[in-house]
Amino acid sequence: MCARMPGIEAKVPESSDVLWSAKAMTSRHLRFLSSGSLGYLVWGALPLAILAVSLILIRGISHSGKARTAELSPIRVACLGRIEPQDGVRVIAARSLSGQPSLVGELTAAEGESVAAGQIVAMLNSKNELEARYQLAQASVELARRKLDQTRAGPKSADIAAQNAEIGRIEAQLFNLKAEYARTKLLYDQQIVVKSDLELRESQVSSTQELLNEARERLRSLSEVRPSDVAVAEAELAARLADAKRAFAEYQAAFVRSPITGRVIKINTRPGEEVGDKGIMEIGNVARMYVVAEVPDTSISQVKQGYKATIMIDGLTEIMHGQVEQVGFRVMKNQILYTDPAALADARVVEAKVLLDDGKIAENLIYAQVRVVIEP
**Per-residue model confidence as pLDDT tens digits over 260-279:** 999 999 999 999 999 998 99
pTM (2 d.p.)? 0.59
Phi, psi of 144 (to 5 degrees): -65, -35
Predicted confidence at residue 104, as pLDDT, reads 94
Alpha helices in the chain (DSSP H): 15-32, 37-72, 127-153, 157-189, 195-223, 227-252
What is the spatial distance between Cα 129 and Cα 114, in angstroms, rounded to a whole number?
30
Average pLDDT of every residue of the chain: 80
How many angstroms separate the Cα of 324 from the Cα of each of 45, 77, 374? 61, 12, 8
Dihedral angle over CA of 320, 323, 327, 332, nearest 10: 0
Q: Give the three-state DSSP class for 45.
A: helix
What is the spatial distance between Cα 47 and Cα 67, in angstroms, rounded to a whole number?
31
Predicted confidence at residue 220, as pLDDT, reads 77
What is the spatial distance between Cα 241 and Cα 148, in angstroms, rounded to a whole number?
13
Decide if 140 contacts 128 (C-beta within 8 A): no
Q: Comparing C-alpha atoms, which of 278, 276, 303, 301 is closest to residue 292? A: 303
Predicted confidence at residue 5, as pLDDT, reads 34
Predicted confidence at residue 10, as pLDDT, reads 38
Predicted confidence at residue 143, as pLDDT, reads 94
Q: Comparing C-alpha atoms, which of 120, 366, 119, 89 is closest to residue 261? A: 119
Our measurement of the distance from residue 264's CA atom to the centroid of its chain's CA atoms, rounded to an integer in Å, reads: 17
Predicted confidence at residue 319, as pLDDT, reads 93
Q: Comparing C-alpha atoms, which of 369, 359, 374 is closest to residue 86? A: 359
Residues in the chain predicted with pLDDT less than 70, given as ranges, are 1-74, 98, 155-157, 223-225, 337-346
Q: Give the three-state DSSP class for 318.
A: coil
How many angstroms separate the Cα of 195 from the Cα of each of 183, 189, 209? 13, 10, 21
Bridge partner residues of 172 (DSSP): none
Q: What is the DSSP letter of 329?
A: E
What is the spatial distance between Cα 327 and Cα 301, in angstroms, rounded to a whole number?
10
Cα-Cα-Cα-Cα dihedral sign, residues 294, 300, 302, 307: positive
Phi, psi of 329 (to 5 degrees): -115, 5
Decide if 125 contacts 99 (C-beta within 8 A): no
Bridge partner residues of 364 (DSSP): none
What is the spatial distance between Cα 311 and Cα 76, in angstroms, rounded to a whole number?
13
What is the spatial distance between Cα 293 and Cα 303, in angstroms, rounded to a whole number?
11
Predicted confidence at residue 101, as pLDDT, reads 82
Q: Comparing C-alpha atoms, which of 85, 91, 87 is closest to residue 281? A: 91
Predicted confidence at residue 68, as pLDDT, reads 52
262, amino acid identity: G
Compute the 3-state secondary structure of the chain and give helix, strand, coil in percent, each to the nearest 5. Answer: 45, 25, 30
Predicted confidence at residue 306, as pLDDT, reads 94
What is the spatial distance between Cα 238 and Cα 247, in angstroms, rounded to a whole number?
14
